[in-house]
Amino acid sequence: MKFFVDNWILILVAFVSGGMLVWPMVRKGGAGGSVATGEAVRLINREKGVLIDVCEPSEFAAGHAAGARNVPLAQLEGSKELPSNKTLPLLVMCASGGRAGRAAAMLRRAGYERAMAVAGGTNAWREAQLPIERSGAGKSAEKAEKADKAEKSA
């Protein structure tokens, strides 16, 4: 008993540091949380995961993960772009991952039990050198960029 009284600060520090190590696992929960880009690709390829981008249309047009469906965060509830099969993995992403976490939580409340945010969003997708598509205004900007490069090399 004297040991505990004399070393109560060390014991407190041990419990706090242990709690800090366990907290991320508790916070994520079994069904939710976020996944890395590699795990997202695995879920898309092996479990027919659906990639949902919750960016605004202008951000989506500038560059998004290949095959992603654009459902802006404000229009997420009740969107017809979401799959009717609520057991499929839904991989939610945005530019950096902030909105995706909120969107994944909304989708889990709506019954999509396997909705997960892609950690780091489109930025992490790009850093992992995974395919990025452009649409709308982004495509014309891409063509102009290629034309500029062709002129410089000629």
55 is catalytic: no
Q: How far apart are CA 69 and CA 54, in angstroms?
A: 8
Query: If you write DSSP's letter for every residue of the chain in order, what string do you get?
Result: -HHHHHTHHHHHHHHHHHHHHHHHHHHH-SS-SEE-HHHHHHHHHHH--EEEE-S-HHHHHH-EETT-EE--GGG-TT-TTS-S-TTS-EEEE-SSSHHHHHHHHHHHHTT-TTEEEETTHHHHHHHTT--EE--THHHHHHHHHHHHHHHHH-
Can you name the residues that pair with 62 across neighbouring β-strands? none
Q: Which position among 65, 94, 103, 107 bears the catalytic label? A: 94
Active site residues: 94
